[in-house]
Structure 1
Amino acid sequence: MDSEPDPAPTAETLLRPVRLGNAFEDTVARLLETIRLGVLAPGESLPPERELAVRLGVSRDTVREAIKSLADAGYLQSRRGRYGGTFLAEQLPTPRAAGVRLDRADIDDALRLREILEVGAARMAAGRSLGEVEAATLRNRLADVRAATSEDYRRLDSRLHLAIAEAAGSPSLVPLVAENRMRVNALLDQIPLLQRNIAHSDEQHQAIVEAILAGDEQAAADAMCAHLAGSAALLHGFLD
Protein backbone atom coordinates (compact mmCIF):
# COMPACT_ATOMS: atom_id res chain seq x y z
CA MET A 1 0.00 0.00 0.00
CA ASP A 2 1.34 3.41 -0.95
CA SER A 3 2.22 5.63 2.00
CA GLU A 4 0.40 8.91 2.49
CA PRO A 5 2.31 11.98 1.22
CA ASP A 6 4.01 14.06 3.90
CA PRO A 7 1.85 17.18 4.40
CA ALA A 8 4.66 19.17 5.99
CA PRO A 9 6.03 22.03 3.88
CA THR A 10 9.52 21.67 2.52
CA ALA A 11 12.29 24.23 2.18
CA GLU A 12 11.79 24.13 -1.59
CA THR A 13 8.16 25.23 -1.31
CA LEU A 14 8.75 27.87 1.36
CA LEU A 15 11.91 29.43 -0.05
CA ARG A 16 10.18 30.90 -3.09
CA PRO A 17 10.87 34.19 -4.88
CA VAL A 18 10.21 37.36 -2.90
CA ARG A 19 8.80 40.76 -3.87
CA LEU A 20 11.76 42.85 -4.92
CA GLY A 21 10.27 46.05 -3.53
CA ASN A 22 10.96 44.72 -0.04
CA ALA A 23 13.61 42.15 -0.87
CA PHE A 24 15.42 42.27 2.47
CA GLU A 25 12.29 42.14 4.64
CA ASP A 26 10.71 39.37 2.56
CA THR A 27 13.94 37.36 2.60
CA VAL A 28 14.02 37.57 6.40
CA ALA A 29 10.35 36.55 6.51
CA ARG A 30 10.91 33.55 4.19
CA LEU A 31 13.83 32.32 6.27
CA LEU A 32 11.86 32.79 9.48
CA GLU A 33 8.91 30.93 8.02
CA THR A 34 11.18 27.99 7.22
CA ILE A 35 12.68 28.09 10.71
CA ARG A 36 9.50 28.57 12.72
CA LEU A 37 7.52 25.90 10.87
CA GLY A 38 10.18 23.37 11.77
CA VAL A 39 11.22 22.58 8.21
CA LEU A 40 14.80 22.72 9.47
CA ALA A 41 15.69 21.20 12.82
CA PRO A 42 17.70 23.01 15.53
CA GLY A 43 21.38 22.84 14.62
CA GLU A 44 20.63 21.95 10.98
CA SER A 45 22.32 23.95 8.24
CA LEU A 46 20.67 26.34 5.79
CA PRO A 47 21.29 25.89 2.08
CA PRO A 48 24.34 27.81 0.81
CA GLU A 49 23.96 31.54 0.17
CA ARG A 50 24.25 31.08 -3.59
CA GLU A 51 21.41 28.53 -3.61
CA LEU A 52 19.22 30.69 -1.37
CA ALA A 53 19.78 33.69 -3.65
CA VAL A 54 18.62 31.68 -6.67
CA ARG A 55 15.57 30.25 -4.90
CA LEU A 56 14.48 33.61 -3.52
CA GLY A 57 15.31 35.60 -6.64
CA VAL A 58 17.48 38.11 -4.76
CA SER A 59 21.16 39.03 -4.67
CA ARG A 60 23.66 37.20 -2.48
CA ASP A 61 24.22 40.48 -0.64
CA THR A 62 20.54 40.52 0.35
CA VAL A 63 20.75 36.92 1.54
CA ARG A 64 23.94 37.70 3.47
CA GLU A 65 22.33 40.73 5.14
CA ALA A 66 19.24 38.71 6.09
CA ILE A 67 21.35 35.90 7.55
CA LYS A 68 23.47 38.36 9.53
CA SER A 69 20.36 40.06 10.92
CA LEU A 70 18.85 36.74 12.00
CA ALA A 71 22.15 35.69 13.52
CA ASP A 72 22.30 38.95 15.48
CA ALA A 73 18.73 38.25 16.64
CA GLY A 74 19.70 34.77 17.86
CA TYR A 75 17.97 32.61 15.23
CA LEU A 76 21.03 31.53 13.27
CA GLN A 77 24.69 30.76 13.92
CA SER A 78 27.57 31.01 11.46
CA ARG A 79 30.46 28.58 11.70
CA ARG A 80 33.76 28.73 9.88
CA GLY A 81 36.01 25.98 8.68
CA ARG A 82 35.68 22.84 6.60
CA TYR A 83 32.26 22.01 8.04
CA GLY A 84 31.17 25.61 8.37
CA GLY A 85 28.07 27.35 7.12
CA THR A 86 24.92 28.84 8.57
CA PHE A 87 23.02 26.76 11.13
CA LEU A 88 19.83 27.10 13.11
CA ALA A 89 20.34 27.97 16.75
CA GLU A 90 19.75 25.07 19.12
CA GLN A 91 17.18 27.19 20.99
CA LEU A 92 15.16 29.85 19.19
CA PRO A 93 14.38 33.23 20.78
CA THR A 94 10.88 33.89 22.10
CA PRO A 95 8.87 37.10 21.67
CA ARG A 96 10.01 39.84 24.04
CA ALA A 97 6.69 40.49 25.77
CA ALA A 98 6.29 37.73 28.34
CA GLY A 99 2.97 35.93 28.16
CA VAL A 100 1.90 37.69 24.94
CA ARG A 101 1.27 35.50 21.93
CA LEU A 102 -0.83 36.90 19.11
CA ASP A 103 -2.15 34.77 16.29
CA ARG A 104 -2.15 35.72 12.63
CA ALA A 105 -5.71 37.07 12.79
CA ASP A 106 -4.73 39.56 15.50
CA ILE A 107 -1.71 40.74 13.54
CA ASP A 108 -3.66 40.91 10.28
CA ASP A 109 -6.40 43.01 11.88
CA ALA A 110 -3.95 45.64 13.11
CA LEU A 111 -2.00 45.72 9.86
CA ARG A 112 -5.03 45.86 7.56
CA LEU A 113 -6.44 48.76 9.52
CA ARG A 114 -3.03 50.42 9.34
CA GLU A 115 -3.00 50.09 5.56
CA ILE A 116 -6.50 51.53 5.24
CA LEU A 117 -5.66 54.50 7.45
CA GLU A 118 -2.09 55.33 6.46
CA VAL A 119 -2.21 54.71 2.71
CA GLY A 120 -5.31 56.88 2.63
CA ALA A 121 -3.59 59.52 4.76
CA ALA A 122 -0.60 59.69 2.42
CA ARG A 123 -2.87 60.00 -0.62
CA MET A 124 -4.99 62.73 0.99
CA ALA A 125 -1.92 64.65 2.20
CA ALA A 126 -0.50 64.66 -1.33
CA GLY A 127 -3.81 65.93 -2.68
CA ARG A 128 -3.77 69.02 -0.49
CA SER A 129 -1.92 72.29 -0.95
CA LEU A 130 0.20 72.18 2.19
CA GLY A 131 1.19 75.38 3.90
CA GLU A 132 4.78 76.21 4.75
CA VAL A 133 4.39 75.08 8.35
CA GLU A 134 2.88 71.71 7.38
CA ALA A 135 5.56 71.10 4.76
CA ALA A 136 8.32 72.09 7.19
CA THR A 137 6.88 69.76 9.84
CA LEU A 138 7.02 66.82 7.44
CA ARG A 139 10.61 67.63 6.47
CA ASN A 140 11.64 68.01 10.11
CA ARG A 141 9.97 64.78 11.20
CA LEU A 142 11.67 62.98 8.32
CA ALA A 143 15.06 64.39 9.31
CA ASP A 144 14.47 63.38 12.93
CA VAL A 145 13.74 59.75 12.16
CA ARG A 146 16.67 59.50 9.74
CA ALA A 147 18.98 60.69 12.53
CA ALA A 148 17.37 58.58 15.26
CA THR A 149 19.28 56.23 17.50
CA SER A 150 18.04 52.66 17.85
CA GLU A 151 16.65 53.51 21.28
CA ASP A 152 14.61 56.44 19.94
CA TYR A 153 13.69 55.04 16.53
CA ARG A 154 10.17 53.79 17.28
CA ARG A 155 9.12 57.08 18.88
CA LEU A 156 10.43 59.27 16.06
CA ASP A 157 9.08 56.90 13.43
CA SER A 158 5.65 57.21 15.06
CA ARG A 159 5.92 61.02 15.04
CA LEU A 160 6.57 61.03 11.29
CA HIS A 161 3.58 58.81 10.57
CA LEU A 162 1.35 60.97 12.78
CA ALA A 163 2.60 64.10 10.95
CA ILE A 164 1.54 62.52 7.67
CA ALA A 165 -1.91 61.84 9.17
CA GLU A 166 -2.12 65.47 10.29
CA ALA A 167 -1.14 66.65 6.81
CA ALA A 168 -4.15 64.77 5.39
CA GLY A 169 -6.29 67.59 6.78
CA SER A 170 -8.85 65.46 8.65
CA PRO A 171 -8.65 66.03 12.42
CA SER A 172 -10.69 62.88 13.06
CA LEU A 173 -8.06 60.77 11.30
CA VAL A 174 -5.19 61.56 13.67
CA PRO A 175 -6.56 59.81 16.79
CA LEU A 176 -7.46 56.77 14.70
CA VAL A 177 -3.91 56.54 13.35
CA ALA A 178 -2.52 57.12 16.85
CA GLU A 179 -4.63 54.32 18.35
CA ASN A 180 -3.68 51.92 15.59
CA ARG A 181 -0.04 52.92 15.91
CA MET A 182 -0.13 51.89 19.57
CA ARG A 183 -1.27 48.43 18.51
CA VAL A 184 1.38 48.21 15.81
CA ASN A 185 4.13 49.42 18.14
CA ALA A 186 3.15 46.75 20.68
CA LEU A 187 3.81 44.21 17.93
CA LEU A 188 7.02 45.86 16.74
CA ASP A 189 8.34 45.91 20.31
CA GLN A 190 8.31 42.11 20.27
CA ILE A 191 10.72 41.82 17.34
CA PRO A 192 14.33 42.97 16.99
CA LEU A 193 15.31 46.19 15.24
CA LEU A 194 17.17 45.20 12.08
CA GLN A 195 19.59 47.85 10.85
CA ARG A 196 19.08 46.98 7.18
CA ASN A 197 15.33 47.35 7.64
CA ILE A 198 15.84 50.76 9.27
CA ALA A 199 17.95 51.89 6.31
CA HIS A 200 15.29 50.63 3.89
CA SER A 201 12.53 52.31 5.90
CA ASP A 202 14.45 55.60 5.75
CA GLU A 203 14.51 55.37 1.95
CA GLN A 204 10.78 54.63 1.88
CA HIS A 205 10.01 57.47 4.29
CA GLN A 206 11.92 59.80 1.98
CA ALA A 207 9.89 58.62 -1.02
CA ILE A 208 6.60 59.07 0.85
CA VAL A 209 7.38 62.62 2.01
CA GLU A 210 8.77 63.67 -1.37
CA ALA A 211 5.63 62.40 -3.13
CA ILE A 212 3.39 64.25 -0.67
CA LEU A 213 5.30 67.50 -1.09
CA ALA A 214 5.23 67.07 -4.88
CA GLY A 215 1.46 66.59 -4.81
CA ASP A 216 1.68 63.13 -6.40
CA GLU A 217 -1.20 61.24 -4.79
CA GLN A 218 -0.59 57.88 -6.47
CA ALA A 219 3.14 57.90 -5.77
CA ALA A 220 2.50 58.78 -2.12
CA ALA A 221 -0.03 55.97 -1.75
CA ASP A 222 2.21 53.46 -3.53
CA ALA A 223 5.25 54.40 -1.45
CA MET A 224 3.30 54.11 1.80
CA CYS A 225 1.81 50.77 0.72
CA ALA A 226 5.28 49.38 -0.04
CA HIS A 227 6.58 50.68 3.29
CA LEU A 228 3.79 49.04 5.29
CA ALA A 229 4.23 45.78 3.38
CA GLY A 230 7.85 45.56 4.53
CA SER A 231 6.86 45.96 8.18
CA ALA A 232 4.06 43.44 7.77
CA ALA A 233 6.45 40.87 6.31
CA LEU A 234 8.77 41.15 9.31
CA LEU A 235 5.95 41.02 11.85
CA HIS A 236 4.43 37.90 10.32
CA GLY A 237 7.88 36.35 9.96
CA PHE A 238 8.79 36.81 13.61
CA LEU A 239 5.40 36.49 15.30
CA ASP A 240 3.19 34.08 13.34
Structure 2
Amino acid sequence: MEFDAPIVRESVAEMVVRRILDMVKAGVLKAGDALPPERDLAVSLNVSRPSVREAMRGLTVLGVVRTRQGGGAYISDLGPDALLGPIQFYLSLEDMNIRELYDARSLIESDVARRAAVNISDADLDRLEALLTEQHETISDPIAFRKSDYAFHEIIWIGSNNAFLKRIGESLNVLGLEFRKRASERPGVLEQSLRDHRRLLDALRARDANAAAAAAEAHMQNVYQSTISQAED
Protein backbone atom coordinates (compact mmCIF):
# COMPACT_ATOMS: atom_id res chain seq x y z
CA MET A 1 0.00 0.00 0.00
CA GLU A 2 1.40 3.38 -1.02
CA PHE A 3 0.79 6.67 0.73
CA ASP A 4 2.64 8.96 -1.64
CA ALA A 5 -0.47 10.81 -2.84
CA PRO A 6 -0.43 14.36 -1.46
CA ILE A 7 -3.01 15.48 1.08
CA VAL A 8 -4.93 18.36 -0.44
CA ARG A 9 -5.90 21.05 2.01
CA GLU A 10 -8.72 23.47 1.40
CA SER A 11 -7.84 27.13 1.16
CA VAL A 12 -9.60 29.58 3.45
CA ALA A 13 -11.60 30.85 0.47
CA GLU A 14 -12.76 27.30 -0.32
CA MET A 15 -13.89 26.88 3.29
CA VAL A 16 -15.88 30.11 3.02
CA VAL A 17 -17.51 28.83 -0.17
CA ARG A 18 -18.37 25.55 1.54
CA ARG A 19 -19.85 27.36 4.55
CA ILE A 20 -22.11 29.51 2.39
CA LEU A 21 -23.18 26.55 0.24
CA ASP A 22 -24.03 24.61 3.41
CA MET A 23 -26.16 27.54 4.60
CA VAL A 24 -27.98 27.59 1.26
CA LYS A 25 -28.63 23.83 1.37
CA ALA A 26 -29.86 24.10 4.97
CA GLY A 27 -32.26 26.90 4.03
CA VAL A 28 -30.54 29.44 6.25
CA LEU A 29 -29.79 31.48 3.14
CA LYS A 30 -32.56 31.63 0.54
CA ALA A 31 -32.90 32.99 -2.97
CA GLY A 32 -32.83 36.78 -2.89
CA ASP A 33 -31.22 37.04 0.56
CA ALA A 34 -28.60 39.77 0.77
CA LEU A 35 -25.17 38.79 2.04
CA PRO A 36 -23.41 40.96 4.63
CA PRO A 37 -20.81 43.44 3.39
CA GLU A 38 -17.37 41.97 2.78
CA ARG A 39 -15.93 43.43 6.00
CA ASP A 40 -18.78 42.11 8.18
CA LEU A 41 -18.63 38.69 6.55
CA ALA A 42 -14.89 38.48 7.18
CA VAL A 43 -15.37 39.35 10.86
CA SER A 44 -18.27 36.91 11.24
CA LEU A 45 -16.29 34.03 9.72
CA ASN A 46 -13.00 35.09 11.32
CA VAL A 47 -11.17 35.19 7.99
CA SER A 48 -9.44 37.87 5.96
CA ARG A 49 -11.26 40.14 3.53
CA PRO A 50 -9.18 38.87 0.56
CA SER A 51 -10.38 35.32 1.37
CA VAL A 52 -13.98 36.51 1.41
CA ARG A 53 -13.43 38.35 -1.86
CA GLU A 54 -12.01 35.22 -3.50
CA ALA A 55 -14.88 33.12 -2.18
CA MET A 56 -17.43 35.59 -3.59
CA ARG A 57 -15.78 35.39 -7.00
CA GLY A 58 -16.04 31.60 -6.91
CA LEU A 59 -19.68 31.66 -5.81
CA THR A 60 -20.45 34.14 -8.57
CA VAL A 61 -18.91 31.84 -11.18
CA LEU A 62 -21.02 28.98 -9.80
CA GLY A 63 -24.13 31.11 -10.21
CA VAL A 64 -24.99 30.93 -6.51
CA VAL A 65 -24.24 34.59 -5.79
CA ARG A 66 -25.13 37.63 -7.89
CA THR A 67 -23.98 41.21 -7.45
CA ARG A 68 -26.19 44.26 -7.74
CA GLN A 69 -25.27 47.44 -9.52
CA GLY A 70 -23.94 49.84 -6.93
CA GLY A 71 -22.57 47.09 -4.71
CA GLY A 72 -23.90 44.31 -2.59
CA ALA A 73 -24.19 40.58 -3.15
CA TYR A 74 -27.20 38.32 -2.81
CA ILE A 75 -28.15 34.69 -3.28
CA SER A 76 -29.35 34.08 -6.84
CA ASP A 77 -32.73 32.60 -7.70
CA LEU A 78 -30.94 29.22 -7.73
CA GLY A 79 -32.71 28.30 -10.96
CA PRO A 80 -31.10 25.90 -13.43
CA ASP A 81 -30.27 28.71 -15.85
CA ALA A 82 -28.08 30.34 -13.18
CA LEU A 83 -26.52 27.25 -11.65
CA LEU A 84 -25.69 25.43 -14.88
CA GLY A 85 -23.84 28.25 -16.62
CA PRO A 86 -20.33 26.77 -16.15
CA ILE A 87 -21.47 23.35 -17.39
CA GLN A 88 -23.18 24.97 -20.36
CA PHE A 89 -19.92 26.70 -21.25
CA TYR A 90 -18.07 23.38 -20.98
CA LEU A 91 -20.57 21.76 -23.33
CA SER A 92 -20.03 24.54 -25.84
CA LEU A 93 -16.35 23.55 -26.00
CA GLU A 94 -16.94 19.83 -26.51
CA ASP A 95 -19.06 18.82 -29.50
CA MET A 96 -19.07 15.20 -28.37
CA ASN A 97 -20.98 16.21 -25.27
CA ILE A 98 -23.96 17.26 -27.37
CA ARG A 99 -24.56 13.57 -28.04
CA GLU A 100 -24.22 12.73 -24.35
CA LEU A 101 -26.53 15.57 -23.37
CA TYR A 102 -29.30 14.37 -25.66
CA ASP A 103 -28.77 10.75 -24.62
CA ALA A 104 -29.49 11.92 -21.08
CA ARG A 105 -32.46 14.02 -22.17
CA SER A 106 -33.89 11.09 -24.11
CA LEU A 107 -33.74 8.83 -21.06
CA ILE A 108 -35.26 11.42 -18.74
CA GLU A 109 -37.93 12.77 -21.09
CA SER A 110 -39.16 9.30 -22.05
CA ASP A 111 -39.54 8.28 -18.41
CA VAL A 112 -41.21 11.61 -17.59
CA ALA A 113 -43.69 11.07 -20.44
CA ARG A 114 -44.37 7.50 -19.32
CA ARG A 115 -45.23 8.71 -15.81
CA ALA A 116 -47.18 11.72 -17.06
CA ALA A 117 -49.43 9.47 -19.15
CA VAL A 118 -50.68 8.04 -15.87
CA ASN A 119 -50.56 11.09 -13.60
CA ILE A 120 -51.20 14.22 -15.66
CA SER A 121 -54.53 15.95 -15.08
CA ASP A 122 -57.16 16.56 -17.74
CA ALA A 123 -56.78 20.29 -17.09
CA ASP A 124 -53.08 20.10 -17.90
CA LEU A 125 -53.82 18.13 -21.06
CA ASP A 126 -56.07 21.02 -22.11
CA ARG A 127 -53.23 23.45 -21.37
CA LEU A 128 -50.94 21.40 -23.59
CA GLU A 129 -53.54 21.58 -26.36
CA ALA A 130 -53.66 25.37 -26.02
CA LEU A 131 -49.87 25.51 -26.23
CA LEU A 132 -49.92 23.46 -29.44
CA THR A 133 -52.30 26.01 -30.93
CA GLU A 134 -49.94 28.76 -29.79
CA GLN A 135 -46.96 26.98 -31.35
CA HIS A 136 -48.81 26.64 -34.64
CA GLU A 137 -49.45 30.38 -34.60
CA THR A 138 -45.83 31.25 -33.76
CA ILE A 139 -44.15 28.80 -36.14
CA SER A 140 -42.43 31.72 -37.91
CA ASP A 141 -41.24 33.28 -34.64
CA PRO A 142 -38.48 31.11 -33.10
CA ILE A 143 -38.26 33.14 -29.89
CA ALA A 144 -41.99 32.88 -29.16
CA PHE A 145 -41.99 29.23 -30.18
CA ARG A 146 -39.12 28.38 -27.82
CA LYS A 147 -40.97 30.04 -24.95
CA SER A 148 -44.07 27.98 -25.69
CA ASP A 149 -41.93 24.87 -26.15
CA TYR A 150 -40.49 25.27 -22.65
CA ALA A 151 -43.97 25.73 -21.18
CA PHE A 152 -45.14 22.58 -23.00
CA HIS A 153 -42.37 20.45 -21.54
CA GLU A 154 -42.72 22.04 -18.11
CA ILE A 155 -46.35 20.91 -17.86
CA ILE A 156 -45.27 17.37 -18.70
CA TRP A 157 -42.44 17.48 -16.14
CA ILE A 158 -44.96 18.55 -13.51
CA GLY A 159 -47.40 15.93 -14.77
CA SER A 160 -44.88 13.17 -14.06
CA ASN A 161 -45.65 13.79 -10.38
CA ASN A 162 -41.96 13.46 -9.52
CA ALA A 163 -40.26 16.65 -8.33
CA PHE A 164 -36.78 15.21 -8.83
CA LEU A 165 -37.44 14.27 -12.45
CA LYS A 166 -38.94 17.71 -13.01
CA ARG A 167 -35.76 19.36 -11.74
CA ILE A 168 -33.55 17.15 -13.91
CA GLY A 169 -35.73 17.81 -16.95
CA GLU A 170 -35.48 21.57 -16.39
CA SER A 171 -31.72 21.39 -15.97
CA LEU A 172 -31.08 19.32 -19.08
CA ASN A 173 -33.35 21.60 -21.08
CA VAL A 174 -31.38 24.65 -19.98
CA LEU A 175 -28.07 22.97 -20.84
CA GLY A 176 -29.21 22.49 -24.43
CA LEU A 177 -30.77 25.92 -24.81
CA GLU A 178 -27.86 27.67 -26.54
CA PHE A 179 -27.65 24.89 -29.13
CA ARG A 180 -31.41 25.02 -29.67
CA LYS A 181 -31.45 28.79 -30.15
CA ARG A 182 -29.34 28.41 -33.26
CA ALA A 183 -30.96 25.21 -34.52
CA SER A 184 -34.48 26.64 -34.27
CA GLU A 185 -33.61 29.14 -37.00
CA ARG A 186 -33.18 26.34 -39.54
CA PRO A 187 -36.04 25.65 -42.00
CA GLY A 188 -38.35 22.84 -40.95
CA VAL A 189 -37.03 22.43 -37.40
CA LEU A 190 -39.97 24.04 -35.61
CA GLU A 191 -42.45 22.26 -37.86
CA GLN A 192 -40.89 18.93 -36.84
CA SER A 193 -41.08 19.88 -33.17
CA LEU A 194 -44.75 20.75 -33.58
CA ARG A 195 -45.44 17.34 -35.14
CA ASP A 196 -43.52 15.66 -32.33
CA HIS A 197 -45.50 17.58 -29.71
CA ARG A 198 -48.78 16.53 -31.34
CA ARG A 199 -47.77 12.87 -31.29
CA LEU A 200 -46.73 13.15 -27.65
CA LEU A 201 -49.92 14.90 -26.58
CA ASP A 202 -52.08 12.34 -28.40
CA ALA A 203 -50.32 9.56 -26.48
CA LEU A 204 -50.80 11.39 -23.19
CA ARG A 205 -54.50 11.91 -23.89
CA ALA A 206 -54.83 8.21 -24.66
CA ARG A 207 -53.13 7.46 -21.32
CA ASP A 208 -50.78 5.19 -23.27
CA ALA A 209 -47.56 5.18 -21.25
CA ASN A 210 -45.51 3.21 -23.78
CA ALA A 211 -46.61 5.37 -26.71
CA ALA A 212 -45.89 8.53 -24.71
CA ALA A 213 -42.39 7.31 -23.85
CA ALA A 214 -41.73 6.39 -27.49
CA ALA A 215 -42.99 9.78 -28.68
CA ALA A 216 -40.79 11.64 -26.20
CA GLU A 217 -37.74 9.59 -27.17
CA ALA A 218 -38.37 10.18 -30.88
CA HIS A 219 -38.76 13.89 -30.20
CA MET A 220 -35.39 14.02 -28.43
CA GLN A 221 -33.75 12.19 -31.33
CA ASN A 222 -35.19 14.72 -33.77
CA VAL A 223 -34.03 17.59 -31.57
CA TYR A 224 -30.56 16.06 -31.44
CA GLN A 225 -30.38 15.61 -35.21
CA SER A 226 -31.36 19.23 -35.89
CA THR A 227 -28.93 20.44 -33.23
CA ILE A 228 -25.96 18.43 -34.47
CA SER A 229 -26.70 19.42 -38.08
CA GLN A 230 -26.56 23.07 -37.07
CA ALA A 231 -23.31 22.53 -35.13
CA GLU A 232 -21.66 20.93 -38.17
CA ASP A 233 -22.50 23.83 -40.51
TM-score scaled by length of structure 2: 0.55
- Distance change >3 Å, CA 167–CA 107, structure 1 → 2: same
- 2:176 corresponds to 1:184: yes
Contact 2:200 2:215 in 1 (8 A): yes
1:222 aligns with: 214
Provide the aligned length of Structure 1 versus Structure 2.
142
Where do residues 19-98 of structure 1 align in structure 2 (5 Å cutoff)?
Answer: none
Q: What's the offset of the Cα at 1:198?
A: 1.4
1:136 aligns with: 126
Q: Which amino acid aligns with 1:185?
A: L
Q: What's the offset of the Cα at 1:197?
A: 2.0
Greater helix proportion: 2
Alignment root-mean-square deviation, CA: 2.3
1:210 aligns with: 202
Flag structure 2 segments of 5+ consecutive residues without an equivalent. Answer: 1-90
Q: Which amino acid aligns with 2:118?
A: G
Paired with 2:129 and 2:92, the residues of 1 have a C-alpha distance of 37
1:236 aligns with: 228
Structure with more relative contact order (C-alpha pairs < 8 Å, separation 6 or more): 1
- Measured against aligned partners, the alpha-carbon deviations of 1:182-204 in whole angstroms (never above 9, x if no partner) come to 11112112335223221122111
Runs of 4 or more above 3 Å deviation? none
Contact 1:111 1:232 in 2 (8 A): yes
- 2:193 corresponds to 1:173: no
Q: Secondary structure at the match of 2:182?
A: coil
- Measured against aligned partners, the alpha-carbon deviations of 1:49-101 in whole angstroms (never above 9, x if no partner) come to xxxxxxxxxxxxxxxxxxxxxxxxxxxxxxxxxxxxxxxxxxxxxxxxxxx94
Flag structure 1 segments of 5+ consecutive residues without an equivalent. Answer: 1-99
1:108 aligns with: 99
Q: What's the offset of the Cα at 1:180?
A: 1.0
Paired with 1:123 and 1:101, the residues of 2 have a C-alpha distance of 30
Contact 2:105 2:172 in 1 (8 A): yes
Of residues 123, 142, 146, the one that matches 2:136 is 146
Contact 2:115 2:160 in 1 (8 A): yes
- Measured against aligned partners, the alpha-carbon deviations of 1:106-156 in whole angstroms (never above 9, x if no partner) come to 21232122111111111111123x433222222222222222232311111
Report which stretch shifted further, 130-139 or 169-178: 130-139
